[in-house]
Structure 1
Amino acid sequence: MKFGDVENAERIFRSIKTKNIITYGAMIKGYVGNETFEKALDLFEKVDIELNDVTYTIVFNACAKLCNDRAMKIGKELLAKMPENYRNDNITSTSAIDMLMKFGDVESAE
């Protein structure tokens, strides 16, 4: 979706029969890159497989950009469920801190 062709990317994504976390992550990242943050969160809510550090980071970024009640709820719930090993990842942690700061939740960010 680097060229903004969201429609074709969605068509290809729908045609993939067996999706994995990389497929979902690429699509969510494409939505974020094209500033369609609501679509990114819509798709994230459909993911029913184990997340990886990249997916956590992408969703935290989407929540930070959207910065509304829905994004705050999803972001904070995701952070609460995030496994400890991802909390030690600098990129993922920085994305979570950025999200919390944009929500105005300095206490949690610290």
Structure 2
Amino acid sequence: INIYRISNKLYLGYVENKMYEKTLDLFEQLPFSLHNVGYIIIFNACAQLLNDRAKQIGKKLLQQIPKYFHNDNVIITSALDMLMKFGDVENAENFFQMMKKKDVIAYNAMMKGYVENKMYEKTLDLFEQLPFSLHNVGYTIIFN
């Protein structure tokens, strides 16, 4: 039995049912570290809750994330989304700069975060730096 798969299923079940507090309760009760999908789910739960507890857990988790996950764009993009929702633009920018191979999803997450934080000029600046053509989601972010 893979304990990571079981815990991820439990986390995901809570998140899909919008039971974010229960997700964090379970996360704090389990005595082992997260695996890649677990980080994504917990960052998502923290981003949805947006309360002090979620911010504390999310930021603590970011400090503890193993270095080998720093190259995982999905995990880092989930962290970007969470940080932007917390209004922690500076840390989101630091994680974005740390990404070696930024993809369209990471750029979209940053631009969306800038818009959510009413930093429209930064959104346009980042849009102008895109090293590839954008698809519909990116254009929707820019035009809104």
Band the TM-score falls in, shorter-chain normalisation? 0.7 to 0.9
Which consecutive residues of structure 2, in runs of 5 or more, have no partner in the other structure? 94-144
Count of paired positions:
93
* Cα distance in structure 2, aligned partners of 1:50 and 1:23: 13
Q: Structure 1 residue 91 and structure 2 residue 74: aligned?
A: yes
The answer to which of 44-53 and 76-85 deviates more is: 44-53
* Cα distance in structure 2, aligned partners of 1:87 and 1:40: 23
Greater RCO (Cα-Cα under 8 Å, separation 6 or more): 1
TM superposition shift of 1:87: 1.5
1:73 corresponds to which residue? 56
Please tell me whether the aligned partners of residues 79 and 96 of structure 1 are also in contact (alpha carbons under 8 angstroms).
yes
* Cα distance in structure 1, aligned partners of 2:52 and 2:32: 25
Which consecutive residues of structure 1, in runs of 5 or more, have no partner in the other structure? 1-17
* Cα distance in structure 1, aligned partners of 2:21 and 2:32: 20
* Cα distance in structure 2, aligned partners of 1:47 and 1:99: 22
* Cα distance in structure 2, aligned partners of 1:46 and 1:34: 19
1:62 corresponds to which residue? 45
Q: Secondary structure at the match of 1:39?
A: helix
TM superposition shift of 1:19: 7.2
2:21 corresponds to which residue? 38
Structure 1 residue runs of 4+, over 3 Å off? none
In the alignment, residue 28 of structure 1 is paired with which amino acid? Y
Q: Secondary structure at the match of 2:87?
A: coil
Q: Secondary structure at the match of 1:35?
A: coil
* Cα distance in structure 1, aligned partners of 2:10 and 2:44: 14
TM superposition shift of 1:46: 1.0
In the TM superposition, what are the counterparts of 1:16-27 in structure 2 within 5 Å?
Answer: 20-27=3-10
Equivalent residue in structure 2 for 1:106, among 83, 86, 89: 89
Identical pairs, percent = 53
* Cα distance in structure 2, aligned partners of 1:21 and 1:54: 9
* Cα distance in structure 1, aligned partners of 2:12 and 2:18: 10
Larger Cα Rg: Structure 1 or Structure 2?
Answer: 2
Q: Secondary structure at the match of 1:50?
A: coil
